[in-house]
Amino acid sequence: MSSTTQQKVSSAMSECHSNHRHAHFLIKVGIFVAILLNNMGATAQEGKADHRALAWADSVYQAQLNQAIAEPTKTLPVLDSVLTVFTQSKDLCRASHIHSWRSHCFEFTGQTDSAVAVAQRALQLFHPGCDSLVLMSIHVTLSNAWLALGEYMKVQQLTETSLRNWNEKWPYSITRNGLYTNRAIALAYQDDLDGALQAFRDVLANARKEGVVSNELNALQNMVAHFGWMGIHSEVQAYRDSAEHYQQRAMNLARSIDDKKALLRLYVNTAILNSDLKKYEKALVYLDSAQVLADALKNLRLTVKIADVRSQCLFLTGRADSAYKVMRVHKSLQDTLLNTEKVKAIADMQERYESEKKAREILGLRADKLQGELEKSKAERTRNIVLSLGFVVLLLAFGLWSRLRYTRRSRAIVQKEKDRSDALLLNILPAEVAEELKDKGEAEARLIDEVTVIFTDFKGFTAMSELVTPKQLVKDLHECFSAFDHICAKYGLEKIKTIGDAYMAAGGLPTPTNDHAVKVIRAALEMRDFVEEGKQRKIANNLPYFEIRIGIHTGPVVAGIVGVKKFQYDIWGDTVNTASRMESSGEVGKVNISEATYELVKDEFNCEFRGEIEAKGKGKMRMLFVKSRK
């Protein structure tokens, strides 16, 4: 399936699982903070605190039942807290449902492996006494994650089983539409075009049957994407006619319900489809209509896309000057979009910091109250001492001794915990960032002009996972990543994160250096050699083995902390995306670098020029393989 079709189908899928009624749930998040702080102040009423926690968890659960998860990153901590309450109360059915929502959040934020693991945990907790619709919801979430991992056969089997077991007496639910849609997408990716076509028709029929106009609109867009892809690749006119037919129906439906956002997407997708069919003038007409709506809706992201497609159409129709002008507009809009997203990310971090600050202030007031109660207790004890002088002298001596012993023990415990906290913090954050966080309560994101980013990925990781036990797979992965950690420490690189079987690190941050590119390549060569040695050992013992691809690129990044819980030091920017493309465009057992990195290390290493290689989303780029040191 082409990338254009995939984008259209993915867009339709995301709309099937979203609506605009999430404000109430976000209010519940604020209530969550207030209730938890209130519960912290209940010292001698444990039963009452449990009752309040259950009441809060139930209110959040009920609110979420009919709401879309609008902001997964902010929602996850709330779901974690609700899950803790339901787990402690042994409410396995609702705990299973919460796990399903958590899996959706992980999948939405790109943590696909975690999404699969959490969805499978939801299945483990589900039992026959639970609502069967919850089981179907879990199946939708799990199939979403499997689609992202390319496990199309598993998606097909799971969704077909769920649809066979669907009870027609159940009330309307977006869950059924999700099962139909995921099944159709899985068939399309497996090149079962006839099966996929029938499956997409089933999606449309189900949407009409249940009378949900938004689902019907999404189903029509899926039909357009499918027929459009078939028409482009087979050049059968009937497919192209069908694509235009369903496109027109979708537009009419969007106009009838005054869904300007859907109509905007339809205009853009129709323009892309006509461009793919080489109907450039027709594509430009739809782009004009799309631009009017994009301006009205202030949709900067689609405005960028419109400019991109327009420049291509103008160039391909021989209007190079106009295409160049539009390309300049596209570049300016793209820069604006990136800056807007950066500002939003920083604003979100500041907002979370302010929330934490308010919580600390409330805790401070509680501490003052406790201190006042302590002073009152001391006054009462002094009065008792005056009344019973002889007894009190002995009691005072004993009390002072106990207090001294308790204070020393408490200080030792506090110091031990402080040392442990500092060690844990330094294990996940650079020392400079950790100190700033402790001093100020926050760490500002910073632009670093030149950083060298390295990505590694194991070839055939999914296939290998089917050949060995999960325990052995994790053991092998741990062995490799531990070695990579030591290599990064050796060359002063900063490990950023691991994503499944991918490993990401960078040189030249948080403190800029002049030799970061050289050190990153030296580390990459050692990583490659380590994996190769492991491969030879595995081959000698007739065992499955890892093979590695490594990609490196140098450029500017924005570096900082993400989140207010489970801090993570991360980097953003086009440099990161390009480094990832270097890895995916490389070859097994080789270190693939960009031209930007090569200019910094050409005096240190022998490199082999590969030519201009097509990189997904980047176009053709000059790439080189690092052969050896000079």
Long-range contacts made by residues 514-518, C-beta under 8 angstroms, separation at least 24? Answer: 516/450, 516/451, 516/452, 516/554, 517/452, 517/552, 517/554, 517/597, 517/600, 517/601, 518/600, 518/601, 518/604, 518/605
Residue 620 bridge partners (DSSP): 614
With a threshold of 0.85, does the pTM exceed it?
A: no
Cα 278 to chain centroid distance, Å, stands at: 36
Three-class SS state of 504: strand
pLDDT in tens, 119-156: 888 888 888 888 888 888 889 889 888 888 888 899 88
pLDDT classification of 295: cutoffs 50, 70, 90: confident
Q: Which residue has the higher pLDDT, 165 or 372?
A: 165
How many residues are given for the chain? 630
Q: What angle do CA 135, 137, 140 make, to 5 degrees?
A: 115
- Number of helices followed by number of strands (H, E) in the chain: 23, 8
Q: What is the mean pLDDT of residues 229-233?
A: 70
Q: Which residue has the higher pLDDT, 24 or 121?
A: 121
**How many whole angstroms separate alpha carbon 595 and alpha carbon 191?**
37
Neighbours of 123 (CB within 10 A): 14
Neighbours of 323 (CB within 10 A): 19
pLDDT in tens, 147-197: 888 888 998 898 888 888 888 777 766 788 888 888 888 888 888 878 888
b/e per residue 583-597 (b: at least 16 CB within 10 A): bebbeebbbbbbebb
**Closest to 504 (Cα-Cα) out of 531, 477, 481:** 481
